Structure 1
Amino acid sequence: MAEYVYTSLDNASVITSKYMDIARSSILFLDRDGIIIKDVGHISKIEDVELVPGIDRLILRLKDAGMLIVVVTNQASVPRGIISVDKYIELTTHMLCLLGESTPDMILSSFYHPIFSKTNCNSSWRKPGSGMFRYALDILDVDINKCIMIGDRPSDVLAAEAVGISTNYLLKTERYADEICLYKVNNKIRGKGFKLINSLDNVG
């Protein structure tokens, strides 16, 4: 991960590209599991890291359109003791290798869990908390009205809407289909809501 700078925070981490173009005026926020790599539960093995079809094309297309790419991911496997922070970095490095030229500008990770974490530091980073989004928006001078969030769970949309992002997509998956339906029925996702898509090629 030589082209990135790793910063450790309490219950969180920040990985930033050395070549990030801060002059860009908008952000594409991406969840990791289910959007960038296939969601197979708590990933602990390199061989389980596999890209979601179309993610490389999507990142390149929106980078070309002038967007910064920021990953916002809950990684409860760290406080649960399933993987170490070093293992998380190893898995992230492999993901970046698979992405090739379509790498993100920043990767924000929440290691907080309400049961397993020893402190509440940076607890707001855990989605549906909006801490990761606020961190990126505080240091990057972008137009919030041009930002986009793509996730696969309602918590992704709730976190994005809390900071004023109104263009939100949920990728339809069998794993979270019932959860999405429940949120819709309970009307917990307000504002402009979200667009449910079957493929990352449907974004735009």
Structure 2
Amino acid sequence: MTTKVLLVDLDGTIRQTASGKTFIDEPTDQKAIEGVQEAIEHLSQKFVIIGVTNQGGVAAGHKSLASAIEEQRITLDLFPQISEIFFCPNWGDSCYQISRGNEPIEFSAPLSGDGTKISCRKPGYGMLLLASRPLAEAKDCIMIGDRPEDKTAAETCGIKFFWASVLRNPEEWQNLK
């Protein structure tokens, strides 16, 4: 049987600030978007679920790398069905993998066939390659996100894309394959 992978954007797709602020500045200032946990639980029976998120606030100096790592760990606690999270805290040169009980692992941006770096920051698709390819080919992956850069990254990588609204409609998420 083929492994199927669901790549899910985090901010605005499955989590939001608890305080009502625009961005998560403190790792604990987050909560699941209403109704999404049920969708994620259901989808975890069909897919390996991996979070993928830009964290430009680190590069912009709004939060530290340690704070971004803690933020992802809290998200893993909120969503126990998510196996790991990849996040890009810079402008695309690398990304980090966060999983339960392990130290963060930094990956350099992958190289394209012509030797140029594929940006890890969405709309680049380097992070999606690093997160999905050890488990599945693009045809066995889907991505859910809320921003045009999520869609661009998925489509450039050859991954089928769905808007975040699918997670708020049980009739839609129950039929994802």
Query: TM-score higher than 0.5 here?
Result: yes
> Where does residue 33 of structure 1 map in the other structure?
11
| Alignment check: 8 A CA contact 1:27 1:148 kept | yes
Q: In angstroms, what is the RMSD of aligned CA positions? A: 2.3
Q: Is 1:170 the equivalent of 2:153?
A: no
Measured at CA, do residues 41 and 24 of structure 1 come closer, stay the same or move farther in structure 2, by a change above 3 Å? farther
In structure 1, C-alpha distance between the alignment counterparts of 2:6 and 2:143, rounded to whole Å: 6
Q: Name 2:121's counterpart in structure 1.
A: 126
- Secondary structure, aligned partner of 2:7: strand
Q: 1:32 to 1:165 in 2, by over 3 A?
A: same
Structure 1 pair 200/72, CA: closer, same or farther in 2 (3 Å)? Answer: farther
Choose the corresponding residue for 2:87, options 105, 109, 131. Answer: 109
Residue 78 of structure 2 corresponds to residue 98 of structure 1: yes
Structure 1 stretches of 5 or more lacking a match? 1-22, 115-120, 173-196
The alpha carbon displacement at 1:55 in A equals 2.2
Secondary structure of the equivalent of 1:149? Answer: strand
- Alpha carbons 1:72, 1:133 under 8 Å: kept: yes
User: Could you say if the C-alpha distance between residues 107 and 81 of structure 1 is closer, same or farther in structure 2, counting changes exceeding 3 Å?
Assistant: same
Match of 1:51 in 2: 32
Cα drift, residue 95 of structure 1: 2.1
Write the deviation string for residues 151-174 of structure 1: whole angstroms up to 9, x where unpaired: 0011111101111112x21135xx
**Structure 1 contact 42–82 (Cα < 8 Å) conserved:** no
Compared CA separation, residues 200 and 127, structure 1 to 2 (3 A): farther
Q: Is the 8 A contact 2:2 2:140 kept in 1?
A: no
Q: How far 1:75 sits from its partner (Å)?
A: 0.2
**Percent of residue pairs bearing the same amino acid type:** 31
Q: 1:74: Cα distance to partner?
A: 0.4
When normalised by structure 1's length, the TM-score is: 0.64
Cα distance in 2, alignment partners of residues 24 and 32 from structure 1: 25
- Distance in 2, matches of 1:200 and 1:109, equals 27
